[in-house]
Chain A
Amino acid sequence: MEKIKSLEDLKKLRAEALEKRTAKVISGQKEVIVGMGTVGIAAGARETLKAILDYIESEGLTDIVVRQTGNIGLDSFEPIVQVVIGDQAKVTYGRVTPDAARKIMKEHVVGGNVVKEYHIEGK
């Protein structure tokens, strides 16, 4: 992909991005939420979020919305990541290091299978 340097080049980027997005409708909306309360940030939530963005970028995934949220109320499990795919129930993951985040992106967000290792049951 050509490097885009200026705001003027965003027009080109937009056209290209919209073209790639036309095929996405079948999979439904995918949302990845990262807890960014004080405890989450101290536990490494920024690096976790960064790893998620890097994964989306390197794999060219066009149908994912990434969001932050405040304290989820599970301090001892921070950093927390939640995944929502279409109208399925929200899945909550705990102690999500950048490595764990990449695994969750690959196996759950892309592959559709819950990663049991980091899944917090009942949440």
Chain B
Amino acid sequence: MRELTLHLLDIAANSVSALSQNIHIEVVEDTINDRLFMSVKDDGKGMDAEMVKKVIDPFVTSRTTRKVGLGIPLLKAAAESCNGWFKIESEPGKGTLVEVEFQRSHIDRMPLGDLPSTILTMIIATPEVHWTFRYRVNQEEFFFDDEPVKQELEGVPLSDPMVISFLRDYITEGIQSIQPPE
């Protein structure tokens, strides 16, 4: 995967698979301290310590009772090669927090990619989840909570053409109004 937002989508899709009801996504670009941070916090079924170990390094154990992908190990390696770090905190029955940080200006740092499309596709294609999204650039912030939208729209699905148009414009403009150049 060549964009950080594709990794973000991958982690969020894991949260959806873990039957989360609430998923919070955070992206922070700190151009002053030269850091780029992303996190996904969910209240899904969570993982025990052994499963977390396996998700981070699928080659530690030869047991293949559950299938795990390579998305997370690749993201961890990418962060660590860019003066950054990667962390998973998880508890069965409570949920999972995934955090990753990069040196923003590092030559090997993947581009962030298409953040508006990433948030938009997640919100529309998993309407059963309550999504919150915070994007911060230094002192400025765009926050989006899909709950008020769903309440207002009662009876109209998120994949209605007018709703797609509204969400796309709202999210794209919110992000672009504070997004710094790559």
Partners in one complex: yes
Contact (Cβ within 8 A) B160 A17: yes
Kindly identify, within residues 17 to 76 of chain A, every residue whose CB is under 8 Å from any CB belonging to chain B: 17-18, 21, 34, 36-39, 41-42, 46-47, 49-50, 53, 56-57, 59-62, 64-68, 70-71
Give the number of residue pairs across the A-B interface with Cβ within 8 Å: 108
Contact (Cβ within 8 A) A1 B162: yes
Q: In the complex, what residues of A have CB within 8 A of residue B153's CB?
A: 10, 13-14, 17
Contact (Cβ within 8 A) A3 B169: yes
Contact (Cβ within 8 A) B16 A68: yes
Provide the B112-124 mask, 1 if CB < 8 A to any CB of A, else 0.
Answer: 0010011011101
Flag whether A5 is at the interface (Cβ < 8 A): yes
Instruction: Please classify the interface of chain A as helix (H, G, I), strand (E, B), loop, or mixed, using the class held by over half of its residues.
Output: helix
Flag whether A116 is at the interface (Cβ < 8 A): no
Kindly identify, within residues 91 to 123 of chain B, every residue whose CB is under 8 Å from any CB belonging to chain A: 114, 117-118, 120-122
Contact (Cβ within 8 A) B120 A53: yes
The interface stretch among B5-13, B30-38, B46-54, B80-88 is B5-13
Which of A18, A41, A50, A59 meets B13, CB within 8 Å? A41
- Known A-B contacts A7-B148, A13-B166; A66 and B6 likewise in contact (beta carbons under 8 Å): no
Provide the B138-182 mask, 1 if CB < 8 A to any CB of A, else 0.
Answer: 000000000011001111110111111110111000000000000
Contact (Cβ within 8 A) A49 B121: yes
- Known A-B contacts A36-B13, A46-B121, A53-B124; A14 and B165 likewise in contact (beta carbons under 8 Å): no
Residue of B nearest to A9 (CB): B166
Contact (Cβ within 8 A) B1 A14: no
Which of B67, B126, B156, B170 meets A68, CB within 8 Å? B126
Contact (Cβ within 8 A) A37 B13: yes
Contact (Cβ within 8 A) B155 A41: no
Which of B114, B121, B126, B160 meets A62, CB within 8 Å? B160
Residue of A nearest to B160 (CB): A17
Flag whether B17 is at the interface (Cβ < 8 A): yes
Q: In the complex, what residues of B have CB within 8 A of residue A13's CB?
A: 153, 156, 162-163, 166
Which of B114, B149, B156 meets A21, CB within 8 Å? B156
Residue of A nearest to B5 (CB): A46
Flag whether A4 is at the interface (Cβ < 8 A): yes
Query: 11 interchain pairs (CB within 8 A)?
Result: A3-B169, A7-B148, A11-B152, A13-B156, A14-B153, A16-B162, A38-B71, A46-B9, A53-B164, A64-B159, A70-B17
